[in-house]
Amino acid sequence: RKEVEQDPGPFNVPEGATVAFNCTYSNSASQSFFWYRQDCRKEPKLLMSVYSSGNEDGRFTAQLNRASQYISLLIRDSKLSDSATYLCVVNKHQAGTALIFGKGTTLSVSS
Interaction of residue 49 with other proteins, rule CB under 8 A = yes
Return the residue of 55, 60, 101, 108 that touches other proteins, per CB under 8 A.
101
Structural contact between residues 60 and 75, judged by C-beta atoms closer than 8 angstroms: yes
Question: What does the alpha-carbon distance between residue 16 and residue 32 come to, in Å, rounded to a whole number?
Answer: 30
Closer residue to other proteins, CB minimum distance, 23 or 78: 23
Does 103 sit near other proteins (CB under 8 A)?
Answer: yes
Torsion, CA 58, CA 43, CA 49, CA 8, rounded to 10: 90
Query: Where does this chain bind other proteins (CB under 8 A)?
Result: 32, 34, 42-46, 49, 87, 91, 95-104
